[in-house]
Amino acid sequence: MEHWSFFDSSFSSSSSSSSSSSRPPDPSPSHVFLSFRGDDIGNTFASHLQAALTRQRIKTCVGYNLQKGHEVSASLVKAIEEAKLSVVIFSENYASSRECLDQLGKMIECKLKHGQITVPVFYHVDPSHVQNQTGCFADAFVRHERELKDSLSKVQRWRVALASAAKTSGWECSPNRFEAELVEKIAEDVSQKLEGMRIGGLEEKIAILKQTAQAKLERTLKTGTPNDMQDLTKTLQELGDLKLEKALRTDEENDWEELNTTNQRILQLKQQMFIRQCHPKAMEDYMATQHRVSQILKEQQNRRRGLYRGL
């Protein structure tokens, strides 16, 4: 069997360990959880932001619609856990709501455990008041501590959650700022963050498949059996599909080149299998793969000229 250098770039073996079984089920990649005090801004700023997110084709789940009363509902917990990103709008009376604080506590928990992104929006409030629980936020916690004397640990968790969220880079909406312009900028920021996560997820999958293919290559080089060659080819095809998805999203030259390298190696393997087997099906498979690779190269060339015809 012909020997050739395999992967075009190295990667850390730790990449596979970052995929943990403790993570929640992978949701829709555009799922965003939106937390706000409905009585404050439910019919104004929050509704405008939700509309802006919808225009970006981002699905939103609104905590205000999921939780009524003082207990965290199962549907709310599930919605927050399944979100890729959470947006919390701090308004004047946000901290007066136990429901909002419970939502925030769960959001910060998901941030710490699963790396969920939290985007804070400070609606006519000073971020330092949120972080330090001063101003109107101080008044809210005086009431909570008076009413929840037997659950002060919960109140303390709320304080920690507020401080953590307020430290995160976010958006400020002051009275002299055009809200219509701001909601569009926030929606665009959320969209960019989600896209970054999608690309990041692809890179992790690609890295894992590279490791798998490397192991299968080493085994194939030792045995040279048709079954091992077919197994390696199948894994390389899966890797090629992921690389194609990434190249179509990023349109970066180096991503296209990595894809082309993988496709050439798939062609080499299929050609070797055809030569060994001399079977019509092996020939058909090789020709079909060759045609597919040609289509991909043509798409790459079209994009270089500014033409996006699709595959």
Q: How high does pLDDT run on average in the chain?
A: 84
Q: How far is CA 204 from CA 50, 200, 238, in A?
A: 30, 6, 14
Same domain flag for 208 and 70: no
pTM of the model: 0.62
302 pLDDT band, cuts 50/70/90, is: confident
In this structure, are 129 and 274 located in the same domain? no
Residues contacting residue 110 through CB under 8 Å, at least 6 positions apart = 24, 80, 81, 83, 86, 116
209 touches 235 (CB < 8 A): yes
Query: Rounded to the nearest 10 degrees, what angle do helices 253-277 and 280-304 cross at?
Result: 170
Q: What is the pLDDT of residue 311?
A: 67
- CATH number of 133's domain: 3.40.50.10140
Q: Which of 137, 169, 193 is the last residue of a domain?
A: 193
- Among 165, 193, 221, the domain-final residue is 193
Q: What residues make up the domain containing 202?
A: 197-304
> Is 49 found in the same domain as 99?
yes
According to DSSP, the residues that pair with 89 across neighbouring strands are: 121
Q: Is the pLDDT of residue 87 over 90?
A: yes
The rounded distance, in Å, linking the Cα atoms of 131 and 297 is 53
Residues 41, 148: one domain? yes
Q: Structurally, how many domains does the chain consist of? A: 2
Q: Are residues 266 and 133 in the same domain?
A: no
- In this structure, is residue 177 part of a structural domain? yes
Tell me whether residue 157 is in a domain: yes
Q: Are residues 65 and 147 in the same domain?
A: yes
Count Cβ neighbours within 10 Å for each residue of 128-161 and write b for 16 or more, e otherwise.
Answer: ebbbebeebbeebbeebeeeeeeeeeebebbbeb
**pLDDT of 29-74, one tens digit each?**
448 999 999 888 878 899 999 999 999 989 998 876 655 555 567 8
pLDDT tens by residue, 113-148: 888 899 999 999 999 999 999 999 999 999 999 999
Strand order in the sheet with 59-62: 59-62, 31-35, 85-90, 117-123, 171-173
Answer whether residue 269 is part of any domain: yes
User: Of 147, 170, 193, which closes a domain?
Assistant: 193
